């Protein structure tokens, strides 16, 4: 696993350096340890696969554990890195608004022309005039349709661009029934919008595009497709119309396209920019549209140079990119689109729970600042109660450094009142800056743009950025590329001793998912690339709370309890040999029978500890979600560390001392029990009973299987013990089983059973006393939760008895990071025309009004009803 190999966080990985400290047969102990670990991991993985509460019926997708080696690391997550589109949002794109020729369309207007709220009586736009309209498409502003019918040339050109500049494939199964297969949901939404407003994309060939414009079929000659990639953040097509005019149509991210426009018509530029800011403030994904007319002679020359550049093997991509840059300049602004992508259900509640569990969530998105901040407030990552939200927008290294330092100074200034009189420079010199910053008073958030992040990730500034970001409760990185997502995750992994988790749904999230210790894929609208690269997958972001707070925490708890018990029982078993060595001259004579040594780990003590490792839980699942602070012991690695390891060793040594010397003292004073074999049977029986009682004390959740395995293991021990000392085995194997009747005679002596009982009591009483004192003097949160649960059960019982007595919210490119490079070349080559419909289908792929209060009420209500 990535967590174990890179960070050393895998519990069995850390234990491998301890297991050979176990005296005796360390090879057998190691074999049993790692085989048991894999069985426990497999069982916990099945729990994830079988969890019906993580099943999403709308697309028939269950949760899936694609690995069995990371379950316990799910209980130690400190940082979550999340994509936004398709991960926090539904990735179901709806054409919501647009700006054409200085006018914004999409708002519902009242009779006076002012914006009005969408009500039940509001009627959507009637597209019955268009027989090819998509019946599922809804738009509320009739003004845009009126502009189309009145022949507004700007509006016509706007929708003409949307119907031509794309890589969508069209399929007409029945006459008049069009089906679009789009590589990204937002591109499909734009083409569907053009279709409903009368500009219907009908079909394409490698060299032509056929569009039905207001009922009239028009075929355009497709001259070139300038494909999308993550650097260009735009896409263009060059077409020739029936009049012979050559025109380039381009759509892309506003930050890229606005700087490539012709300097004329500044008023249109300013109004469109205002509309883009307005759309982004509403959390909509925006896109800018522009065009450019090309002269025949210029296009011929440019096409020849492009053809030559594509045939050159060395530096071909750079040459082609420069030619794309050349032609995509001096364009005329057409307008902008705004697409709505709503939050998934349960996202605010999930983020609130994870935040209460002391998990820091960083959103790495391609959105611009305004859109990202709006979504941050919608999903409750950002709140009005925060002390301050720092926004880093510097364009140079010096500006970014100054903004980061100002943010750190403000955080330190707010905590100076509790700083014991130290000033900011004195504090930095006196202690580690990171630890000081993470202890600042107040809640802060950091929002940083992609161009600023590029400077912040440089080697001489990355630590300053990390220190500032880690001191914040929430971090949002805007306009980042897939490479920058991976770099941010790598930075945290490099300097923070913490387990990281990345979650995303698209191909652009694969690098981030692979870089993090644990990768989670959302199976949504953008295909299964993220799922295939992930360790765990499901359909909704809200399932992450169950994956971490329930399955992850239980897996960590079970693995830690298993490991503690493993070392305890093996030291208790093997250290008896050490004490026996002082009386046998260290002659390698063993205390136990050779068959007992072989069967101790394999038969007598294997099943009970496996049952605990698979079934144990400290509190029920709904309590794990009701009390997120229960997750913190895993983050702090409190349940199994060097201290806990040596405590287990000490307990095992303590047990072995009394396990040996109490029977030794009894046998020394009793002439009837002076033989070696009787002593071996007494010690072995005491050991099996003591470790069985101990695992009973360690088990927090009893099932029928636990009872069967614990008492069944004891029964098997006595059955095998009596069988090995029976007359039947002696007759079959006289050289192997020579001590006939020894077990029966030894266990028939009352003194032996008193010795066993005394040994068990002395070994167990200190453990019981310590745990009672700890519960009374320093209880853990899980102890308090269990006590609260018992009190509630008693109160419910009393109520039943009494009842019986009584009755007597700047912008985002619409598809900039959900689109992939290469589809333009595929279309122009004509290869895609031979693909089957099944292959083509692979291209496609409510925020809460309150926060903690609503969450607590809902959880408490659910807890009481349960």
Give the DSSP letter string of 796-814. Answer: HHHHHHHHHHHH------S
The SS3 of residue 77 is strand
| Separation of alpha carbons 355 and 785, rounded Å | 20
Q: Pick the closest to residue 336 from 688, 669, 814, 852 (CA basis).
A: 814
List the one residue out of 313, 378, 312, 369 whose CA is nearest residue 342: 378
Rounded Cα distance, 253 and 813, in Å = 4
Q: 680: number of CA atoms within 13 Å, CB side? A: 18
Strand order of the β-sheet with 474-477 is 64-65, 536-538, 518-522, 499-504, 77-82, 360-364, 474-477, 444-448, 388-392
Per residue, the 3-state secondary structure of 108-123, as one string, reads CECCCCCECCCCCCCC
Residue 739's CB is within 10 A of a number of other CB atoms, namely: 18
Q: Give dist(CA 699, CA 588) in Å, integer.
A: 36
Sheet strands (E) in 273-416:
285-294, 332-340, 360-364, 388-392
Rounded to whole angstroms, how far apart are CA atoms 588 and 580? 10
Using CB atoms within 10 A of its CB, is residue 77 exposed (0-12), middle (13-18) or buried (19+)? buried
Q: How far apart are CA 498 and CA 491, in angstroms?
A: 12
Q: Is the CB of residue 312 less than 8 Å from the CB of residue 319? A: yes
Alpha helices per DSSP H over 59-174:
142-149, 153-164
Q: How far apart, in whole angstroms, are the C-alpha atoms of residue 90 and residue 343? A: 6
The enclosing H or E element of 795 equals helix 781-807
Bridge partners (DSSP) of residue 249 are 237, 291
Residue 172 has φ and ψ, to the nearest 5°, of: -120, 95
Contacts of 192 (CB under 8 A, 6+ apart): 95, 134, 137, 180
CB under 8 Å to 605, separation ≥6 — which residues?
569, 688, 691, 692, 695, 713
E strand or H helix at 240: strand 234-240
- Residue among 83, 186, 341, 535 flagged as catalytic: 83
How far is it, in rounded angstroms, from Cα 390 to Cα 447?
A: 6
Reported as half-sphere exposure (CB side, CA atoms, 13 A), residue 391 has a value of 9
Has 83 been annotated as catalytic?
yes
Phi, psi angles (nearest 5°) of residue 23: -65, 160
Residues 734 and 723: their CA atoms lie apart, in Å, by: 14
Q: What are the Cα distances from residue 860, in Å, to 102, 379, 632, 857?
A: 52, 22, 21, 5
Tokens representing residue 94 in the block: 């709806």
Helical segments of 328-396, H only? 347-356, 369-378
Q: Which two tokens stand for residue 766?
A: 């200190």
As a whole number of angstroms, the distance between CA 74 and CA 555 comes to: 8
- Would you name the residues annotated as active-site residues? 83
């Amino acid at each position: 696993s990535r967590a174990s190999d890179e960070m050393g966080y895998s519990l069995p990985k850390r234990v491998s350096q301890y297991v050979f400290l176990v005296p005796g047969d360390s090879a057998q102990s190691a074999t049993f340890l790692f085989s048991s670990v894999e069985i426990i991991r497999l069982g916990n993985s099945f729990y994830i696969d079988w969890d019906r509460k993580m099943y999403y019926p709308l697309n028939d997708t269950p949760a899936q554990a694609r690995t069995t080696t990371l379950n316990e690391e799910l209980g130690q997550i400190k940082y979550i890195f999340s994509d936004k589109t398709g991960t926090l949002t539904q990735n179901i794109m709806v054409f919501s608004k647009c700006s054409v020729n200085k006018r914004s369309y999409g708002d519902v207007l009242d009779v006076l022309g002012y914006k009005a709220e969408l009500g039940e009586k509001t009627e959507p736009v009637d597209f019955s005039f268009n027989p090819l309209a998509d019946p599922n498409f809804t738009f509320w502003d009739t003004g845009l349709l009126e502009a189309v019918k009145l022949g507004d040339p700007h509006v016509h050109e706007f929708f003409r661009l949307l119907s031509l500049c794309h890589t969508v494939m069209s399929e007409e199964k029945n006459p008049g029934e069009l089906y679009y297969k789009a590589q990204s949901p937002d591109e499909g939404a734009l083409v569907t919008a053009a279709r409903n407003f009368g500009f219907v994309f009908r079909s394409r060939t490698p060299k032509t595009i056929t569009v039905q414009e207001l009922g009239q079929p028009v075929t355009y000659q497709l001259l070139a497709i300038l494909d999308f990639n993550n650097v260009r953040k735009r896409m263009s097509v060059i077409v020739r119309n029936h009049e012979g005019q050559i025109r380039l149509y381009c759509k892309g991210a506003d930050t890229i396209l606005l700087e490539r426009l012709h300097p004329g018509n500044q008023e249109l530029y300013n109004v469109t920019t205002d509309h883009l800011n307005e759309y982004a403030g509403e959390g909509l994904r925006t896109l800018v549209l522009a065009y450019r007319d090309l002269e025949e002679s210029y296009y011929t020359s440019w096409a020849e140079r492009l053809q030559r550049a594509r045939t050159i093997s060395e530096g071909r991509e750079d040459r082609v990119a420069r030619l794309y840059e050349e032609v995509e300049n001096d364009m005329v602004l057409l307008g902008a689109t705004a697409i709505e992508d709503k939050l998934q259900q349960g996202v605010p509640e999930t983020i609130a729970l994870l935040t209460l569990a002391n998990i820091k969530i960083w959103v790495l998105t391609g959105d611009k600042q305004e859109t990202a901040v709006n979504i941050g407030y919608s999903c409750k990552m950002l709140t009005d109660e925060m002390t301050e939200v720092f926004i880093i927008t510097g364009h140079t290294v010096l500006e970014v450094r100054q903004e980061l330092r100002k943010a750190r100074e403000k955080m330190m200034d707010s905590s100076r009142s509790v700083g014991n009189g130290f000033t900011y420079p004195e504090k930095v010199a006196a202690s580690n800056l990171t630890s000081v910053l993470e202890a600042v008073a107040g809640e802060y958030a950091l929002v940083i743009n992609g161009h600023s992040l590029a400077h912040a990730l440089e080697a001489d500034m990355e630590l300053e950025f990390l220190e500032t970001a880690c001191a914040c409760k929430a971090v949002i990185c805007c306009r980042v590329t897939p490479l920058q997502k991976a770099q941010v995750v790598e930075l945290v992994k490099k300097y923070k001793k913490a387990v990281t988790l990345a979650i995303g749904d698209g191909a652009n999230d694969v690098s981030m998912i692979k870089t993090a210790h644990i990768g989670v894929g959302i199976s949504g609208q953008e295909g299964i690339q993220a799922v295939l690269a992930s360790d765990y997958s499901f359909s909704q972001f809200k399932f992450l709370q169950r994956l971490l707070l329930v399955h992850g925490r239980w897996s960590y708890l079970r693995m830690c309890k298993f490991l503690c018990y493993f070392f305890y029982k093996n030291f208790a078993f093997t250290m008896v040999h050490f004490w026996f060595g002082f009386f046998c001259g260290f002659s390698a004579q063993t205390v136990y029978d050779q068959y007992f040594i072989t069967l101790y780990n394999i038969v007598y003590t294997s099943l009970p500890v496996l049952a605990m490792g698979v079934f144990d839980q400290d509190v029920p699942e709904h309590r794990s979600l009701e009390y997120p602070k229960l997750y913190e012991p895993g983050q702090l690695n409190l349940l199994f560390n060097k201290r806990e390891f040596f405590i287990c060793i000490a307990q095992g040594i303590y047990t072995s001392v009394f396990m040996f010397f109490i029977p030794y003292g009894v046998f020394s004073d009793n002439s009837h029990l002076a033989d070696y074999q009787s002593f071996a049977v007494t010690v072995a029986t005491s050991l099996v009973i003591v470790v069985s009682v101990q695992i009973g004390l360690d088990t927090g959740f009893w099932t029928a299987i636990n009872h069967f395995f614990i008492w069944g293991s004891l029964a098997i021990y006595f059955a095998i013990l009596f069988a090995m000392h029976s007359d039947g085995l002696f007759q079959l194997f006289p050289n192997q089983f020579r001590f006939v009747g020894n077990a029966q005679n030894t266990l028939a002596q009352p003194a032996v059973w008193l010795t066993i009982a005394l040994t068990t009591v002395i070994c167990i009483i200190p453990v019981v006393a310590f745990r009672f004192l700890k519960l009374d003097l320093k209880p853990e949160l899980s102890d308090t939760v269990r006590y609260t649960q018992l009190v509630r059960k008693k109160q419910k019982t009393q109520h039943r008895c009494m009842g019986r007595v009584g009755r007597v919210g700047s912008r985002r490119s619409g598809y900039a990071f959900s689109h992939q490079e290469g589809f333009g070349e595929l279309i122009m080559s004509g290869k895609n025309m031979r693909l089957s419909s099944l292959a083509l289908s692979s291209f496609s792929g409510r925020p809460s009004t309150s926060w903690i209060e609503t969450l607590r009420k809902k959880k408490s209500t659910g807890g009481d009803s349960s």
